[in-house]
Amino acid sequence: MKIAIIVPMEIEAQFYLQHFPVERTVKYGVAEYRVFKIGQNEIFLGLSGIGKVQAAMNLASLLACQPIDLILVTGSAGSLQTNVKLKDLLLVNAFAYYDVHCQEAGDYQLGQIPHEPAEFALTGSAFDEFASFLQTKHVDYKTGLVVTGDSFLANEDDKRAIKADFPAAMAVEMEGAAFAQVAYHFQTPLVVLRAISDNGDQDANFNFDQFVAEVGKKAASLVVEYLESKAE
């Protein structure tokens, strides 16, 4: 299999690089990927950058050039629910855009880009297999909707507004729906594991730098175990 691992920042890529020696570096369009193998699986490790455009551009550059069988995304997110706590793991089953408003353009839902799904569901065999792996490892995780937008939330008013529009959303971040939209069009399975790095409130700018490396490592370590189990 050819598997892509995508993380937003270099600090989140370092955990993978500590485990696996890079065999080569390739560049597709503007996106650079470090390539290594785990068993018979060829792994493409890339940085998405921050935000929706960067995420879509860099993932699409890879998928247009390589027949990727599975995309794995790890990283962090801010909680939107009181029962989603700092350092919790979220196995995302759907993404939506919280900052898209096209209802006046036609029969579209809040968050829906015209002619695109209102939500991008991630359920399927890849999701089920990864969920089964987490359960076998007795890993506590939550699953649900995560919403995406081009803002780093750091106040309670913004959080309340998003929750009013998307009451079921468990967390908020800046890339996931763009990954999901690209994967949807390339018909490539996508698995996203986010770890909660902040509460999406006034303490977010204080918490983020402190916790992003720790929670990113937590999610990445599970992906490493998963890939090693597939190599056996």
116 belongs to the catalytic site: no
Q: How confident is the model at residue 210 (pLDDT cuts 50, 70, 90)?
A: low
Q: What is the pLDDT of residue 192?
A: 96
User: What span, in angstroms and rounded, lies between the C-alpha atoms of 39 and 21?
Assistant: 13
Helix runs in 27-124, H state only: 52-63
Please measure the distance between the N-terminal and C-terminal CA atoms of the chain and give it in whole angstroms. 13
Catalytic residue among 12, 158, 175, 201: 12
User: What span, in angstroms and rounded, lies between the C-alpha atoms of 10 and 210?
Assistant: 15
Q: How confident is the model at residue 97 (pLDDT cuts 50, 70, 90)?
A: very high
Query: Domain tally for the chain?
Result: 1
Whichever domain contains 66, its CATH number is 3.40.50.1580
Cβ atoms of 179 and 74 within 8 Å: the answer is no
User: What span, in angstroms and rounded, lies between the C-alpha atoms of 225 and 38?
Assistant: 11
pLDDT in tens, 35-45: 999 888 999 99
**Average pLDDT in the 183-208 region?**
77
pTM, entire model = 0.91
12 belongs to the catalytic site: yes
| Domain that residue 51 falls in | 2-231
Cβ atoms of 23 and 37 within 8 Å: the answer is yes
Q: What is the pLDDT of residue 199?
A: 60
Cβ atoms of 87 and 215 within 8 Å: the answer is yes
Q: What is the pLDDT of residue 196?
A: 86
Catalytic residue among 88, 119, 158, 198: 198
